[in-house]
């Protein structure tokens, strides 16, 4: 009788351990950090991240020091609101967007300051910035920064009453 009880409790413990491991993996996949893929925003060096306040300062500069500001996200979001002076080049996650990005920057000096931004979703889930950043680096651009919007454009830029334009 005692052996059966020990076996039964051992089996229950093993099943509970397996169930716990299964649900832990599911919870981590749903709420944990996303996987770092080769072109994820998580591969962009932190030294290349630009905080919104720092971009405001940069936008006051003139001449060659003023960065080219490119939005690499959704056109709908760009039309709803974007940083004044920024240009829409298409989603960095799509071939057409990367082609437009490449066409826009090809004639520029490889030392031209460029700032990319998207703001479609939280930084660690953005499908557009990592690929656009990688494309510019591949093309030899050495002064590329990426606007760090932790949550999205609305929350991290517009709601702080930073300048926003609509249209296009």
pLDDT at 6: 47
**Averaged pLDDT score across all residues of the chain:** 83
pLDDT tens readout for residues 25-59 = 333 333 344 444 557 888 999 999 999 999 999 98
Confidence band of 8 (pLDDT split at 50, 70, 90) = low
The rounded distance, in Å, linking the Cα atoms of 44 and 79 is: 26
pLDDT at 38: 55
- Under a CB-based contact definition with an 8 Å cutoff, are residues 68 and 111 in contact? no
Q: Which of 13-27, 52-66, 69-83 has the lowest mean pLDDT?
A: 13-27
Share of the chain above pLDDT 70, in %: 77
How large is the average pLDDT for residues 66-83? 95
How large is the average pLDDT for residues 14-21? 44
The rounded distance, in Å, linking the Cα atoms of 121 and 133 is: 17
The rounded distance, in Å, linking the Cα atoms of 42 and 35 is: 9
- For the domain made up of 41-160, the CATH class stated in words is alpha beta
The rounded distance, in Å, linking the Cα atoms of 136 and 45 is: 14
pLDDT at 37: 53
The rounded distance, in Å, linking the Cα atoms of 10 and 49 is: 51
pLDDT at 31: 37
Confidence band of 149 (pLDDT split at 50, 70, 90) = very high
Confidence band of 62 (pLDDT split at 50, 70, 90) = confident
Beginning with the edge strand found earlier in the chain, give each strand of the sheet holding 144-147 in spatial order.
Answer: 49-50, 144-147, 114-117, 68-71, 87-88
Q: Which of 18-27, 88-97, 104-113, 148-157 has the lowest mean pLDDT?
A: 18-27
DSSP three-state, residue 150:
coil
The rounded distance, in Å, linking the Cα atoms of 115 and 132 is: 11
Q: Domain residue spans in the chain?
A: 1-32, 41-160
């Amino acid at each position: 009788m005692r052996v059966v009880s020990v076996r039964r409790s051992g089996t229950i413990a093993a099943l509970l351990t397996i169930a716990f491991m299964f649900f832990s993996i599911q919870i981590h996949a749903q709420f944990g950090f996303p996987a770092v893929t080769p072109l994820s925003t998580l591969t962009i060096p932190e030294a290349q991240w630009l905080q919104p306040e720092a971009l405001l300062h940069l936008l006051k500069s003139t001449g060659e020091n003023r960065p080219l500001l490119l939005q690499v996200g959704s056109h709908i979001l760009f039309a709803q609101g974007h940083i004044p002076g920024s240009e829409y080049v298409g989603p960095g996650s799509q071939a057409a967007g990367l082609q437009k990005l490449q066409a826009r920057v090809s004639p520029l000096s490889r030392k031209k300051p460029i700032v990319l931004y998207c703001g479609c979703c939280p930084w660690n889930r953005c499908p557009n910035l990592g690929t656009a950043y990688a494309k510019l680096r591949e093309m030899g651009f050495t002064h590329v920064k990426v606007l760090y919007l932790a949550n999205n454009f609305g929350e991290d830029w517009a709601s702080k009453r930073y300048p926003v334009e609509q249209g296009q």
